[in-house]
């Protein structure tokens, strides 16, 4: 925040223990988005953040997990609505304690478990999404990865070439490898069953709401992408990117609602009105939840997920703006329209949360206004 306040009209550098990061102006984003992905890559930037080139290199060698989202999940979100609703009802029935009176509940753990179940229904489907070993592994992976990351980040830069060796001395690294091994073991029978169904002509796993795992198995473009070991890594990578960040947002929203009962009642009224109209839970109706959308936006503006202690984010305990977004790594020298020169290897990002707390952009930014954008 200090860097933004001092240099918000210009770019500035942040020195992190493992590398320097260039914070660009928000106005540069549109131009950066137009740069071909071969020249400015987001995947490599995220893996640099994760110090993960030696244990998540499948995310660089293949874009299968990204294609599964863009080509399978996003175009079929409407088909997933009923599936997610049913799984959410099941998750709440299983996870929320039964009690006739007030019962103290650890909200962080509860919502993390529920989100892990919802994530799994997209990624691996039934019955694996209800397998306790899978759910525990998918939740634990994020903690083990980020624990490893943060320890390695504290080491002097000259030790960076030794990170693959040093990592193997860390308990968190070995727990992470165990997570991958468990995922490989658990998805193997799912893939075998799917293959048998295809061979016998009885495949019913290719519907619009089928899991991403079977879609990736069918649509891998080469043997590398179809390899069960790599498919396990892809599924875990998808969970890594979805569970903890989503749970963090849900936790913030729940706490924000708890202290604002009038807002809660207003959201309930809107929800009842929307789902009782023709179409029920259909996507067109859900898009009419304008108050909920405004509330969620305000909750994330005040408490970005990366600032939460519930989210093992990549920027915690480091000299970097933890609320920076749009991470990119220059794969070759680039020159922007204003003359800014980005040498190959430059790590760039944008200070998002600081912008949203800027009184020149957001009036009265310290006040929580649930319906600010309604």
Q: What is the pLDDT of residue 103?
A: 86
Please give the model's pTM, rounded to 2 decimal places: 0.84
Select from 257, 336, 233 the least CA-distant residue to 22.
336
Q: What count of Cα atoms within 13 Å lies in the side-chain half-sphere of residue 371?
A: 11
Is residue 185 a contact partner of residue 194, using CB atoms and an 8 Å limit?
A: no
DSSP readout, 264-310? Answer: HHHHHHHHHHHHTSTTTT-HHHHTT-HHHHHHHHHHHHHS-GGG-TT
pLDDT score recorded for residue 321:
39
pLDDT in tens, 156-196: 888 888 888 998 999 999 999 999 999 999 999 999 988 88
Task: Quote the pLDDT of residue 100.
Answer: 82
Which residues does the chain have with pLDDT short of 70? Answer: 1-3, 51-57, 59-60, 202-206, 279, 305-324
Q: How far apart are CA 294 and CA 157, in angstroms?
A: 43
Q: Using CA atoms, how far apart are residues 38 and 41, in angstroms rounded to an integer? A: 6
**What does the pLDDT read at residue 175?**
94
Please check whether residue 201 is in contact with residue 38, taking contact to mean a CB–CB distance below 8 angstroms. no
Rounded to whole angstroms, the Cα distance separating 244 from 305 reads: 9
Can you tell me the distance from the alpha carbon of 289 to that of 281, in angstroms, rounded to the nearest whole number? 11
Query: What's the pLDDT at 309?
Result: 40
Helix (H/G/I), strand (E/B), else coil: 108: helix
Give the Cβ contact number of residue 207 at 10 Å: 11
Element (H, E) at 7: helix 2-7
């Amino acid at each position: 925040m200090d860097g933004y306040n001092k240099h918000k009209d210009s770019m500035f550098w942040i020195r992190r223990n493992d590398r320097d990061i260039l914070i660009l102006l928000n106005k540069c984003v549109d131009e950066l988005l137009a740069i071909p992905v071969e020249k400015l890559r987001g995947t490599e930037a995220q893996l640099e953040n994760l110090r993960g080139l030696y244990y998540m290199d499948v995310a660089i060698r293949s874009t299968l997990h990204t294609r599964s989202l863009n080509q399978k999940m996003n175009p079929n979100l409407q088909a997933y609505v009923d599936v997610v609703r049913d799984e959410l009802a099941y998750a709440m029935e299983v996870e929320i304690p039964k009690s006739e009176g007030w019962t103290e509940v650890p909200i962080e753990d509860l919502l993390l478990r529920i989100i892990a179940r919802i994530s799994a229904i997209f990624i691996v489907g039934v019955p694996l999404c209800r397998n306790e070993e899978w759910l525990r592994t998918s939740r634990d992976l994020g903690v083990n990865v980020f624990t490893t990351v943060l320890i390695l980040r504290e080491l002097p830069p000259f030790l960076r070439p030794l990170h693959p060796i040093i990592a193997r001395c860390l308990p968190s690294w070995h727990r992470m490898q165990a997570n991958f091994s468990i995922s490989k073991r658990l998805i193997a029978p799912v893939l075998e069953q799917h293959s048998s169904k295809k061979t016998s002509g009885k495949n019913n796993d290719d519907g619009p709401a089928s899991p991403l795992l079977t879609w990736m198995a069918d649509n891998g473009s080469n043997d590398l992408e179809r390899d069960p070991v790599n498919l396990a890594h892809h599924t875990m990578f998808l969970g890594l990117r979805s569970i903890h960040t989503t749970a963090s947002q849900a936790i913030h929203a729940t706490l924000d609602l708890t202290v604002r009962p009038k807002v809660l009642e207003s959201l309930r009224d809107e929800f009842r009105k929307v789902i009782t109209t023709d179409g029920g839970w259909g996507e067109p109706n859900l898009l009419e939840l304008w108050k909920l959308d405004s509330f969620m936006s305000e909750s994330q503006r005040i408490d970005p997920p990366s600032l939460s202690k519930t989210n093992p984010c990549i920027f915690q305990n480091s000299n970097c703006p933890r609320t920076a977004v749009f991470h990119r790594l220059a794969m070759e020298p680039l020159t922007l329209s204003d003359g800014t020169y980005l040498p190959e290897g430059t790590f760039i990002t944008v200070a998002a949360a600081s912008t949203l707390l800027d009184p020149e952009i957001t009036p009265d930014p310290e006040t929580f206004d649930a319906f600010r954008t309604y």
